[in-house]
Amino acid sequence: MSDAFTTRMLNVTTGSRERVVDLTGECEDFLRDAAAGRDGLLNIFVPHATAGLAIIETGAGSDEDLLAALHSLLPADDRWQHRHGSPGHGRDHVLPGLVPPYATLPVIGGRLELGTWQSVCLVDTNKDNRERQVRLSFLG
């Protein structure tokens, strides 16, 4: 594989509750090896039909606010046509329409370029799938 393109798969345990998982540290660890001081792009992809990625502030309540907003927009009730799994699971399949399963971010000098309060987060509302994968790919 060329030095210009490197990829790694992360395994993330989200458990049996809705979660916002901060992946910023894992992204930075990956870039330390993959980017080696170069400029480029980090692509993050979640190969799941019921999870997404958000660039948000964490630790000040925004992660819980995001889950509350998603609960308001996508209630876990019986309105969904997609009905297997836990009650309301159909809304988990709508989630990636609002919180996409991908993000592409700039890398400058081998470092992720995020705003002061921004973090890369996995958003998982699906209580039935406790294990997630996240693909990190650097192109530079």
For residue 1, is pLDDT > 60? Answer: no
For residues 14-31, give the mean pLDDT: 96
Look up the CATH number of the domain holding residue 51: 2.60.120.460
Count of domains for the chain: 1
Domain that holds residue 131: 5-139
User: Can you give the pLDDT at residue 2?
Assistant: 59
Token digits of residue 56? 């948000």
Per-residue burial over 68-103, b = 16 or more CB atoms within 10 Å of its CB, e = otherwise:
eebeeebebeeebeeeeeeebbbbbbbbbeebebeb
User: Can you give the pLDDT at residue 87?
Assistant: 81
User: Can you give the pLDDT at residue 4?
Assistant: 87
Interval 50-105: pLDDT, tens: 999 999 999 899 999 999 999 999 998 989 888 788 888 899 999 999 999 999 99
Query: Can you give the pTM of this predicted structure?
Result: 0.93
- How many whole angstroms from its chain centre is CA 90? 19
For residue 7, is pLDDT > 90? Answer: yes
